[in-house]
Amino acid sequence: MTAGPTGPALPEKAVVVVTGGSKGIGRASALAFAEAGMRVVIAARSEERGAGAEREIRDRGGEAHFVRCDVTSPADVRALFTRALERYGRVDCAFNNAGIPGDGRLTDLTPEDFDRTFAVNARGLWLCMREELRIMSAQGGGSIVNNTSVHGVRTVFPGIGAYVASKQAAVALTRMAALEHAHEGIRVNAVAPGPIESDMLTASEAAVGGATTWRGLIPSGEIGTPRHVADVALWLFSASSSYVNGQVIGVDGGFLAT
């Protein structure tokens, strides 16, 4: 990878690792990246869904490889990137998408609830970035995109304190990684989705009113799709965004502008 005055250009058939890549935003992103000619390493906990995502990409003529990985496990994360290097020899891009909700008022949360949310959304993100940054530093550059949330920028609803705190931690980790590694030709940015058609949005119905509540908050009045997020992540990997670093890009129908 050659670094230019505005950042590294991606090589042909760039290799991208997608965590949480078996469903929702992760799966849509893996498909979008493969359509763009990238070689995709899909990481997920579910063997069945992960293998299905790999098969779908291959059936469409793309290149994909599934690795079972729990991002809360340092051993799993190390094995994921070892497998990626063994298969492709490099990791040019990473979409750190794995995440879980964290419902419950602060006074009702148990320590186990709180720790589990942070284990995936913050500590798991750091474990993945640690491997990605080491690899990209050694090879001369790369691009990382973290999937955070509008909740990482603005506290929106009560009753999801652990999730909000974990996503704000993810934003802080994004900016710190960008600061520490910009001189190595590595860019680290984040997407901050608003309401996106997903299992998580459906599950939020009881806690915050789901899509119905969100439509009243979004200037466009529209719920986003996983592909909306995937397209922004793909742009952040591309040479078109080569001077964008340490940024959190809202994919939210204008919510953060209100």
Could you list the active site residues?
A: 163
Closest CA to 133 of 86, 187, 83, 88: 187
35: which 2 tokens?
């359509």
Using the structure block, give the residue that is written with the tokens 């020899």: 89
Cα 201 to Cα 209: distance, rounded to the nearest angstrom: 9
Beta strands 63-68; 93-96: pairing state: unpaired
109: which 2 tokens?
């949360």
Distances from the Cα of 197 to the Cαs of 77, 84, 178, in angstroms?
28, 30, 29
Cα 129 to Cα 131: distance, rounded to the nearest angstrom: 5
